[in-house]
Amino acid sequence: MDTRMGLHELAVGQRAIVETLHMTGGMRRRLLDIGLVEQTTVECVGKAPSGDPIAFSVRGAVIALRGEDCRRVEVRRL
Protein backbone atom coordinates (compact mmCIF):
# COMPACT_ATOMS: atom_id res chain seq x y z
CA MET A 1 0.00 0.00 0.00
CA ASP A 2 1.30 3.40 -0.90
CA THR A 3 1.41 5.41 2.26
CA ARG A 4 2.74 8.56 0.67
CA MET A 5 0.31 11.45 0.84
CA GLY A 6 -0.11 15.16 1.41
CA LEU A 7 -0.07 16.29 5.01
CA HIS A 8 -3.65 17.54 4.59
CA GLU A 9 -4.89 14.00 3.99
CA LEU A 10 -3.87 12.89 7.46
CA ALA A 11 -6.91 12.15 9.63
CA VAL A 12 -7.08 13.32 13.23
CA GLY A 13 -5.04 10.94 15.37
CA GLN A 14 -2.88 9.66 12.52
CA ARG A 15 0.89 10.01 12.51
CA ALA A 16 3.28 10.43 9.62
CA ILE A 17 6.90 11.12 8.74
CA VAL A 18 7.77 14.18 6.67
CA GLU A 19 9.38 13.17 3.38
CA THR A 20 9.67 16.30 1.23
CA LEU A 21 8.65 19.94 1.50
CA HIS A 22 7.46 20.99 -1.96
CA MET A 23 7.76 24.70 -1.38
CA THR A 24 10.26 27.51 -1.34
CA GLY A 25 10.71 30.89 0.24
CA GLY A 26 8.96 32.11 3.36
CA MET A 27 6.73 29.12 4.03
CA ARG A 28 9.59 26.67 3.75
CA ARG A 29 11.66 28.66 6.23
CA ARG A 30 8.71 28.90 8.62
CA LEU A 31 8.19 25.16 8.60
CA LEU A 32 11.89 24.49 9.06
CA ASP A 33 11.94 26.96 11.97
CA ILE A 34 9.26 25.06 13.84
CA GLY A 35 11.25 21.89 13.34
CA LEU A 36 9.32 20.39 10.44
CA VAL A 37 12.41 19.15 8.64
CA GLU A 38 12.51 15.98 6.62
CA GLN A 39 12.17 12.74 8.61
CA THR A 40 10.28 14.49 11.42
CA THR A 41 7.31 12.67 12.90
CA VAL A 42 4.06 14.65 12.97
CA GLU A 43 0.64 13.84 14.35
CA CYS A 44 -2.61 15.42 13.29
CA VAL A 45 -4.30 16.49 16.53
CA GLY A 46 -7.34 18.42 15.37
CA LYS A 47 -9.11 20.55 12.83
CA ALA A 48 -10.75 23.96 13.10
CA PRO A 49 -14.56 24.12 12.98
CA SER A 50 -14.50 24.63 9.21
CA GLY A 51 -11.96 21.84 8.69
CA ASP A 52 -9.19 24.33 8.02
CA PRO A 53 -6.62 25.09 9.42
CA ILE A 54 -5.38 21.78 10.75
CA ALA A 55 -3.42 21.36 13.99
CA PHE A 56 -0.35 19.13 14.17
CA SER A 57 1.86 18.06 16.99
CA VAL A 58 5.45 18.69 15.91
CA ARG A 59 8.37 18.10 18.27
CA GLY A 60 6.26 18.64 21.37
CA ALA A 61 4.39 21.75 20.22
CA VAL A 62 1.01 22.14 18.52
CA ILE A 63 1.16 24.07 15.27
CA ALA A 64 -1.77 25.02 13.05
CA LEU A 65 -1.26 25.02 9.28
CA ARG A 66 -3.61 25.80 6.44
CA GLY A 67 -4.80 22.92 4.29
CA GLU A 68 -3.44 24.70 1.24
CA ASP A 69 0.06 24.73 2.72
CA CYS A 70 -0.21 21.14 4.00
CA ARG A 71 -0.89 19.98 0.46
CA ARG A 72 2.71 20.77 -0.38
CA VAL A 73 4.15 18.74 2.46
CA GLU A 74 4.67 15.16 1.35
CA VAL A 75 4.52 12.64 4.18
CA ARG A 76 4.61 8.88 4.70
CA ARG A 77 1.83 7.65 6.92
CA LEU A 78 2.76 5.47 9.87
**Where on the chain is the footprint of another protein (CB under 8 A)?**
23-24, 26-35, 37-38, 40, 45-53, 55, 57-66, 68-69
Using CB atoms within 10 A of its CB, is residue 27 exposed (0-12), middle (13-18) or buried (19+)? middle
Q: At its nearest, how many Å lie between another protein and the CB of residue 18?
A: 11
Q: Which is nearer to another protein, 1 or 39 (CB)?
A: 39
Closest to 47 (Cα-Cα) out of 5, 7, 10, 12 = 12
Question: Nearest distance from residue 5's CB to another protein, in Å?
Answer: 19
